[in-house]
Amino acid sequence: MNTTTHQSLLHFLAPPRVGTYVTFVHRFTKKYRHNCASEQLSYTIYKYLFGILFMLITSCTSLNNNSITDTENRLNTIVHNPQSMTNSLKKLDHNFKVSLIYNGVENANYTRFVALELESTPVIVAISSTKLSNRTFLNILSQAHNNSIGTQLFAKNSKIKRDPNMQINNIIISQIQSKIVYDYLNNIGYKSDQTIIERISSFYYKNEDMQLTEYILPKIKDFL
C-alpha cells in the first residue's frame, strides 16, 4: 500500500468516518433485510461488511506504527552519526539554512548560537564555544556568520578531529542552562516541560579544543 493510499485510509478511518461506516452497515442490512432469502444471509452480509472495516482499521494501524518506527529509526541514525549534522540535514532536501541567534564573548570563551532550519523551521539549536586563545576555532566561529561551521570541521583535508564519545541524552527544556537557548525556544513556542535530545561533543586540533552542544527539536520528525 503506497503512502497516498495509506493517508487516504487514515483520513477515511478517522473516528467520525468510522462511526459513519458503522451506521451505513447497520442501515444497509436493516433496509435490505426483507430482500434477503433468510436471516442467515442478512447476517452474512452484515458480518462481511464489518470484516472489511476491521481489515481496513488493522491495515492502517499497522502502517501508521511502521511509519512511526521508520521515523524514529531515521532520527536515531542522524543523532548517532558522528559526521557533519549539516550534511545529514541537507540530504533531507528541505531548504536547509543556518540562522545566527547570537555570537560573542561569554566567560572568557567565544560562543556562537545558531538555529539549523528546514523550510524556515528550526529543527536544531547549536552552541559552539572555544577559548579566546584557541585561534583556529576562534577564527572558524567568528567568521562563520550565517554559514555552517561543518564545512570546515569536516572538510576532506581537515586535521580537526571529533571525539567519538558523544554524550546523547533526552532532557526537558527547563534543564537547559543557557538562558539564550531557553528564551529562544520559549519564543518559538516550546514549553519548559517538552522533551528534546541533547548531544554534546568536543573537537580537537593540536592543543586546541571546541565544545559543541546541539539541541535536537521534535519538529525535525516532520522532515524525516
Dig out the grid coordinates for 32 from the structure: 435490505
CB of 30 within 8 A of CB of 43?
A: no
Helix (H, G, I), strand (E, B) or coil at 35: helix
- pLDDT tier at 11 (50, 70, 90 boundaries)? very low
Is the distance from CB of 198 to CB of 206 less than 8 angstroms?
Answer: no
Please give the Cα distance from 32 to 76 (Å, whole number): 54
Locus of grid cell 481496513: 56
C-alpha cell recorded at residue 190 = 516550546
The C-alpha cell of 57 is what? 482499521
Assess contact for 92 and 81: CB atoms under 8 A: no
pLDDT digits (tens, 9 = 90+) for 139-150: 999 999 999 999
Contact 168, 195 (CB under 8 A): no
Please, are residues 125 and 99 in contact by the beta-carbon 8 Å criterion? no
Q: Domain 85-223 classified CATH 1.10.3720.10?
A: no
| Cα Rg, the chain, nearest whole Å | 26
SS3 of residue 149 by DSSP: coil
- Grid coordinates of 42: 442478512
Least confident of 67-81, 99-113, 204-218: 67-81
pLDDT at 36 exceeding the cut of 70:
no
pTM for the whole structure: 0.71
Where in the chain are the domains? 3-70, 85-223
User: Is the distance from CB of 109 to CB of 130 less than 8 angstroms?
Assistant: yes
pLDDT per residue as tens digits for the range 41-96: 555 665 665 666 666 565 555 545 555 688 899 999 999 999 999 999 999 989 99
